[in-house]
């Protein structure tokens, strides 16, 4: 990092309060923060795609709060209809970056999710906050979780259909993992389809599926509409699991390094702002609920972001492992082991025919050095180890040390 950038970044700390200058950053200060020079962003306008989901919030709020201008750029949040559309626009460079599924970026990089292109994960955007919903029709027959679903499916034989949001994406992997943990083979015992997140509830309403895995607010929307129940949250599957990332192409990072850093700083500050207080979370919910973003009522969003859950069958609980955007920086570090885990599941379910070089692929995609540089400038904690250890719902521990053995050890697999 140049001395000029260090000096510039130190001046920014004056602006970094708990509310991140929320709605009152002085325009003159904004202009002064990024002086002209070699560290100025090469590209001033950055189109960032997003899908209408609660976890698009840090990208949206970076723009709404004016944090982007503070770093000499203008983020243009671009609402997209499907993850396939996001993929295509990232590959064609119609979008500069995206709020995007972790596994989508890995799938594009390896060519298992359509066109092959070298990709980059800049940072994690959120942990937790997705869920598996089952239809009210299934719940009325006693299928309210994995084991009871497996019991019903063995008793009442028919084709059962479940939906994810993209073949190599997070929701498809959570759904596969959850079904398999209950003894249901997602490849032979059920039909798995792909449906864009905002269309999940409508498809369940007309009986097109028995269940789905998607991000909020669509699980809570299914409950409020009386057509679905929450069987499990994804944090039940893996506490503090990786979910959406700020993704782009490797070419963009190489061509626009200063712009990339500026976007990361703005989104990191927005992440910190969201998690700083209940007031900020509520303001975020009011913002992203608007028509130009998620297009739903605030009450569909604001309960689960505070950890206030109901399952649609009368049970309510407070979940400390609700959706988090910052969590003192623990959310945002792009752990190599997180990316590698998705590869193990892609191999498990036959999306990859042979074992990749797990660590090499993750090191290529996850921009660890770049993230550390940005986090250091913003005085955000960074873990010492790019690997982390987690125990998933079936008791199996993932630590990234032997991904080939891990992927091959599952009883239910392709």
Residues 98 and 231 occupy one common structural domain? no
Residues 35 and 181 occupy one common structural domain? no
- What are the structure tokens assigned to 144, written together? 């309210």
**Res. 87: pLDDT tops 50:** yes
Residue 295, domain member (yes or no) = yes
Residue 263 CA to residue 253 CA, distance in Å, equals 11
Mean of pLDDT over the chain: 92
**Res. 260: pLDDT tops 80:** yes
Model confidence pTM above 0.85: yes
Residue 37 pLDDT:
56
- What are the structure tokens assigned to 154, written together? 């063995």
Residues 364 and 256 occupy one common structural domain? yes
Residues ≥6 apart with Cβ < 8 Å to 270: 20, 57, 58, 59, 61, 62, 65, 67, 325
Bridge partners (DSSP) of residue 245 are: 100, 124
Residue 67 CA to residue 69 CA, distance in Å, equals 5
Residue 7 pLDDT:
38
**Res. 207: pLDDT tops 60:** yes
CA dihedral 269, 271, 277, 281 (to 10 degrees): 130
Query: Please, is 306 exposed, middle or buried when counting C-beta atoms within 10 Å of its C-beta (0-12, 13-18, 19+)?
Result: middle
Residues 154 and 83 occupy one common structural domain? no
Residues 295 and 218 occupy one common structural domain? no
Q: Which residue has the higher pLDDT, 25 or 170?
A: 170
Residues 137 and 47 occupy one common structural domain? no
Q: Domain ends where: 240, 270, 289?
A: 240
Residue 315, domain member (yes or no) = no
Q: Is residue 333 within 8 Å of 371, Cβ to Cβ?
A: yes
Q: Is residue 288 within 8 Å of 294, Cβ to Cβ?
A: yes
**Res. 354: pLDDT tops 80:** yes
Q: Is residue 67 within 8 Å of 30, Cβ to Cβ?
A: no
**Res. 208: pLDDT tops 80:** yes
Residue 404, domain member (yes or no) = no
What is the rounded average pLDDT of the residues 130-145?
A: 98
Q: How many alpha carbons fall within 13 Å on the CB side of residue 76?
A: 9
Residue 84 CA to residue 409 CA, distance in Å, equals 31
Residues 137 and 218 occupy one common structural domain? yes
Residue 390, domain member (yes or no) = no
CATH value at residue 156: 3.40.190.10
Tell me the three-class secondary structure of 226-278, residue by residue: CCEEEEEEHHHHCCCCECEEEEEEHHHHHHCHHHHHHHHHHHHHHHHHHHHCH
Confidence band for 91, pLDDT divided at 50, 70 and 90: very high
Residue 411, domain member (yes or no) = no
Q: Domain ends where: 240, 256, 289?
A: 240
**Res. 32: pLDDT tops 60:** no
What is the rounded average pLDDT of the residues 14-34?
A: 39
Residue 151 CA to residue 163 CA, distance in Å, equals 20
Residues ≥6 apart with Cβ < 8 Å to 343: 106, 110, 352, 356, 358, 361, 362, 403, 407
- φ, ψ for residue 347, nearest 5 deg: -70, -40
Residue 115, domain member (yes or no) = yes
Question: Strand pairing of 97-101 and 45-50?
Answer: parallel
Residues 210 and 191 occupy one common structural domain? yes
Mind listing the pLDDT tens digit for each residue in 308-341?
999 999 999 999 999 999 999 999 999 999 999 9
Q: Domain ends where: 207, 240, 273?
A: 240
Distances 124 to 165, 231, 339 between C-alpha atoms, Å: 19, 26, 10
Which own/partner contact pairs does 372-375 have at CB distance under 8 Å and 24+ positions apart? 373/1, 373/261, 374/123, 374/261, 374/264, 374/265, 374/268, 375/268, 375/329, 375/332, 375/333
Residues 291 and 345 occupy one common structural domain? yes
What is the rounded average pLDDT of the residues 239-261?
A: 98
What is the rounded average pLDDT of the residues 184-211?
A: 97
Residues 179 and 226 occupy one common structural domain? yes
Q: Which of 26-40, 222-236, 265-279 has the lowest mean pLDDT?
A: 26-40
Residues 39 and 100 occupy one common structural domain? yes
Residue 138, domain member (yes or no) = yes
Residue 2 pLDDT:
42
Domain range for 290 is 3-127+242-310+320-383
Residues 236 and 248 occupy one common structural domain? no
Residue 261 CA to residue 264 CA, distance in Å, equals 5
Residue 202, domain member (yes or no) = yes
Q: Which of 21-35, 49-63, 345-359 has the lowest mean pLDDT?
A: 21-35
Single out the residue of 314, 321, 324 nearest to residue 230, CA to CA: 314
Residue 169 CA to residue 342 CA, distance in Å, equals 8
Mind listing the pLDDT tens digit for each residue in 389-407?
999 999 999 999 999 999 9
Taking residue 271's Cβ as centre, other Cβ atoms within 10 Å add up to: 29
Residue 38 pLDDT:
76
What is the rounded average pLDDT of the residues 249-274?
A: 98
Mind listing the pLDDT tens digit for each residue in 370-380?
999 999 999 99
Domain count, the chain: 2
What is the rounded average pLDDT of the residues 32-39?
A: 54
Q: Using omega within 30 degrees of 0 as the cis cutoff, is the peptide bond preceding 340 cis?
A: no
Residue 232 CA to residue 321 CA, distance in Å, equals 13
């Amino acid at each position: 990092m140049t001395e000029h950038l260090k000096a510039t970044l130190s001046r920014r700390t004056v602006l970094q309060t708990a509310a991140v200058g929320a709605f009152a950053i002085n325009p003159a200060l904004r202009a002064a923060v990024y002086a002209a020079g070699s560290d100025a962003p090469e590209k001033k306008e950055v189109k960032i795609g997003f899908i209408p989901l609660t976890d698009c919030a840090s990208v949206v709020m970076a723009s709404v709060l004016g944090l982007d201008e503070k770093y000499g750029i203008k983020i243009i949040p671009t609402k997209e209809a499907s993850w396939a559309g996001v993929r295509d626009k990232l590959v064609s460079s119609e979008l500069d970056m995206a709020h995007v599924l972790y596994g989508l970026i890995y799938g594009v990089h390896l060519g298992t999710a359509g066109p092959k292109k070298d990709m980059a994960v800049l940072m994690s955007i959120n942990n937790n906050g997705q869920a598996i919903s089952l239809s009210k029709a299934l719940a009325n027959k006693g299928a309210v979780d994995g084991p009871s679903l497996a019991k019903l499916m063995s008793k009442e034989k028919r084709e059962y259909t479940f939906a994810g949001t993209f073949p190599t994406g997070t929701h498809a992997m959570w759904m596969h993992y959850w079904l398999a943990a209950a003894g249901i083979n997602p490849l032979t015992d059920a039909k798995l389809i792909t449906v864009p997140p905002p269309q999940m509830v409508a498809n369940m309403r007309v009986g097109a599926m028995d269940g789905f895995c998607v991000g909020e607010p669509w699980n809570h929307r299914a409950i409020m509409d009386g057509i679905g129940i929450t069987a499990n949250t994804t944090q039940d599957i893996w506490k503090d699991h990786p979910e959406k990332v700020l993704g782009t192409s490797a070419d963009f990072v190489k061509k626009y390094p200063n712009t990339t850093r500026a976007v990361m700083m703005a989104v990191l500050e927005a992440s910190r702002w969201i998690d700083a207080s209940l007031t900020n979370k509520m303001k975020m919910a009011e913002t992203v609920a608007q028509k130009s973003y998620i297009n739903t009522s605030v009450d569909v969003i604001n309960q689960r972001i505070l950890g206030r859950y109901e399952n649609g069958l009368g049970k309510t609980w407070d979940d400390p492992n609700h959706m988090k955007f910052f969590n003192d920086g623990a959310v945002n570090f792009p752990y190599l082991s997180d990316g590698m885990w998705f590869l193990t599941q892609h191999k498990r379910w036959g999306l990859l025919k042979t074992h990749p070089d797990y660590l090499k692929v993750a090191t290529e995609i996850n921009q660890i050095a770049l993230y550390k540089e940005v986090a250091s400038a913003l005085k955000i904690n960074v873990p010492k180890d790019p690997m982390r250890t987690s125990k998933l719902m079936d008791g199996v521990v993932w630590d990234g040390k032997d991904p080939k053995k891990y992927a091959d050890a599952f009883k239910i697999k392709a």
